[in-house]
Amino acid sequence: MRPDIVRVLQPIVIIAVSLVVVWLLLGGTQQFMNFLTLGAIYALIALGYTMVYGIIELINFAHGDLFMFGAFVAMWILTVPLGMTGAVDNPLQLTVILVVVMLPTMIVMGLLGTFIERFAYRPLRHAPRLAPLITAIGVSFILQNVIYSVFGPSPVNVPQVFPLTRFEFLGGRVSFLSLFMVAIAVFLMVLLQLFVGRTRLGRAMRSTAQDREAAELMGVDINQTIAITFFIAAALAGAGGTIQGLYFGSVQFNLGFFVGLKAFTAAVLGGIGNTTGAALGGFVIAFIEVFATQLGYSRWSEVAVFTVLILVLVFRPSGILGQQLGERA
Amino acid sequence: MSEAAAPVTTVAPMVAPHGEVLLKLTDVHTYYGHIHALQGISIDVRAGEIVTLIGANGAGKTTTLKTVSGLLHPRTGRVTFEGRDISKTPAHTLVRQGIGHAPEGRRVFSRLTVLENLQMGAFTRSQAEMKEDLEHVYDLFPRLKERVSQGGGSLSGGEQQMLAIGRALMARPRVLLLDEPSLGLSPILVQQIFSIIQEINARGTTILLVEQNALQALTIAHRGYVLQTGSVVLSGSASEMRENEMVRKAYLGEI
């Protein structure tokens, strides 16, 4: 059927055209890859903000620190059990190492996320909304201080397992590392979309987000659904943390604050509660940042990001893709 | 606030108890915080019946349904379903045990499609069972079949009500709780909804119906209870309740 083809092709064309425009604006491949990697990290974190907000209307201010925590877990797995020190040249071996780092990091972070929900947020579910918000800030401090007391205040190096080989692409040099990272992030986002959009549990999550009591009457275990949401959100933050560590080469205990704030901006920009919006928002924020740097105003990049946030909140509070609230008939 | 108004008057012996008692509320007291909403309600629903609860706003009809489906729990008193005590059972497990609840205000998932709404109704069931039940629901509500891929929020009021009832049926409940299914519908649609409720009942589902539209409800029901400020003030067979002086004055609009 024709409308179906249009429906499938339209977003692909839009994405392709925007990517070309961004590539041109950023003056070529080098900055473009920076944009993609940064965008992937922001998008992965923003998804967590938006999912948690969607289901319990909580801005989880600890989410940026979950990302930081995930970066440390990945760093620890690389250095201690795997004992990595330098680059691994065998692609197969490299892939195995990445799986062995990323998968456990995501699982550990997922469990930590559900643990936090169970003991910090669930007891406050019927409390005034300010209470869980303040608790989230408290959890953020706890996570930072746990890492601080174990790994100390200074940046910790992450073993660079990726060889520095690059290849020429459209007049710029692309590292396998960034290509690989972007591919993983996109893969995870597609997986998430399919899970939320097509599966029984995904439907339960969307139903719970819209009308908790009605979902309960369908037989949905609300506590379980919220726990699963936190698991996924934190696991994605863990994936983002792994990418962050490998890409930038070091991690620090206060890393979560700024990255978290930007990812939160991305979630609001895309329309909080909307997963596609969060991914889009992540890449928009990354573009603004990289573009500001490209123009020579790298010191102003954060100002630009938060200016955009203010403009969105003033002129389109529901975000780029956000629905108007209160549409229940 | 305990001096409930009228004395309990049973009109006449019940007429249509088809089977054994399926659902039984015994001296149920339910609270919202400090508000004593149900003040000792006792209700029986027998297998195969349509039983209606009528009464003014705030009489406790919706609270009664919520107490049965597990959204609320009685502070004292017992709710039993097929002989098991379900007073403390959470709502999501009661669906599996056979209690379906189409809540007040329809509560369809507006950002899910019609099909997804129905799939949510079948959340507790297997894929194969769902296929069969979908046909059954489309059979009752052909309109839903025409709108499968439309968003729940884009339906008209009547269609949303059909979706709400169809969604509850997807769990294949043995007892279906319907809260104000005729609210906000045009007179023709009201007729249609009521005849569909009768049809659902004829296919073997027991129904506990809450209605403002007392006359319509008493026309299709076998038995009824009148609620007033959280207590049952009158009960009996539907036909006799229609004849009852007090019911006619208070709820059927006679002067």
B122-176 pLDDT, tens per residue? 999 988 889 889 999 999 999 999 999 999 999 998 899 999 999 999 999 999 9
The superfamily (CATH) of domain B18-251 is: P-loop containing nucleotide triphosphate hydrolases (3.40.50.300)
Please give the ipTM for the structure prediction: 0.88
> So what's the pLDDT on residue B18?
57
In chain A, which residues have their Cβ closer than 8 Å to the Cβ of B160? 329
**What is chain B's alpha carbon radius of gyration, rounded to the nearest angstrom?**
18
Chain B residue with CA closest to A324: the answer is B111
**What is chain A's alpha carbon radius of gyration, rounded to the nearest angstrom?**
20
**Which of A1, A200, A218 is the best mutation test for B, with the most CBs of B within 10 A?**
A218
Segments of chain A with pLDDT less than 70 = 1-3, 323-329
| Interchain pair A218, B167: CB under 8 A | yes
> So what's the pLDDT on residue A309?
85
For residue B52, is pLDDT > 70?
yes
Q: Does B110 touch chain A (CB under 8 A)?
A: yes
Chain A residue with CA closest to B124: the answer is A219
Please tell me the distance in Å from A200's CA to the nearest CA on chain B.
Answer: 7
Contacts with A, B 114-133, CB within 8 Å: 116, 119-121, 123-124
| Interchain pair B92, A211: CB under 8 A | no
For residue B89, is pLDDT > 60?
yes
| Interchain pair A216, B92: CB under 8 A | yes
Please tell me the distance in Å from B22's CA to the nearest CA on chain A.
Answer: 19
With b meaning 16 or more CB within 10 Å and e meaning fewer, what string describes B126-136?
eeeebeebbeb
Nearest to B168 by CA among B143, B197, B190: B197
**DSSP notation for B70-92:** TSS--SEEEEEETTEE-TT--HH
Residue spans of the domains in chain B: they are: 18-251
> So what's the pLDDT on residue A297?
85
C-alpha torsion sign, points B50, B55, B58, B60: negative
- Helices marked H in B38-186 — which ranges? 61-69, 91-97, 114-121, 127-140, 142-146, 157-169
Tell me the mean pLDDT in the region B60-71.
95
Please list, in sequence order, all residues whose beta carbon lies within 8 angstroms of the beta carbon of residue B107, skipping any fewer than 6 positions away: A211, A213, A214, A217, A328, B164
Of all residues in chain B, the percent with pLDDT exceeding 90 is 75
Written out in words, the top-level CATH class of the domain with range A23-315 is: mainly alpha
For residue B253, is pLDDT > 90?
no
Chain B residue with CA closest to A323: the answer is B111
> So what's the pLDDT on residue A147?
96
| Interchain pair B112, A206: CB under 8 A | yes
Q: Which two tokens stand for residue B71?
A: 């959204």
CB pairs under 8 A between A and B: 77
Q: Which of B92, B110, B111 sits opposite A219 (nearest CB)?
A: B92
For residue B112, is pLDDT > 60?
yes
pLDDT in tens, B228-243: 999 999 999 999 998 8
Better-scored residue on pLDDT, A95 or B53:
B53
Residue B179, SS3 per DSSP: strand
- Mean pLDDT across chain B, nearest whole number? 89
Decide if A217 contacts A276 (C-beta within 8 A): no
Please list, in sequence order, all residues whose beta carbon lies within 8 angstroms of the beta carbon of residue A323, skipping any fewer than 6 positions away: A271, A273, A274, B111
Chain A residue with CA closest to B111: the answer is A210
> So what's the pLDDT on residue A174?
80
Please list, in sequence order, all residues whose beta carbon lies within 8 angstroms of the beta carbon of residue A48, skipping any fewer than 6 positions away: A60, A63, A66, A67, A232, A233, A234, A236, A237, A263
Nearest to B209 by CA among B180, B242, B235: B180
pLDDT in tens, B177-187: 999 999 888 88
Q: Does B92 touch chain A (CB under 8 A)?
A: yes
For residue B209, is pLDDT > 50?
yes
| Interchain pair A219, B123: CB under 8 A | yes
Exposed, middle or buried by CB within 10 Å (0-12, 13-18, 19+), for B1?
exposed
Distance separating alpha carbons of residues B252 and B245, to the nearest angstrom? 10
Helices and strands, counts by H and E, chain A: 12, 4
Single-letter code of the amino acid located at B135:
E
> So what's the pLDDT on residue B200?
94
> So what's the pLDDT on residue B11?
44
- Helices marked H in B141-252 — which ranges? 142-146, 157-169, 187-202, 214-220, 238-243, 245-251
Please tell me the distance in Å from A7's CA to the nearest CA on chain B.
Answer: 14
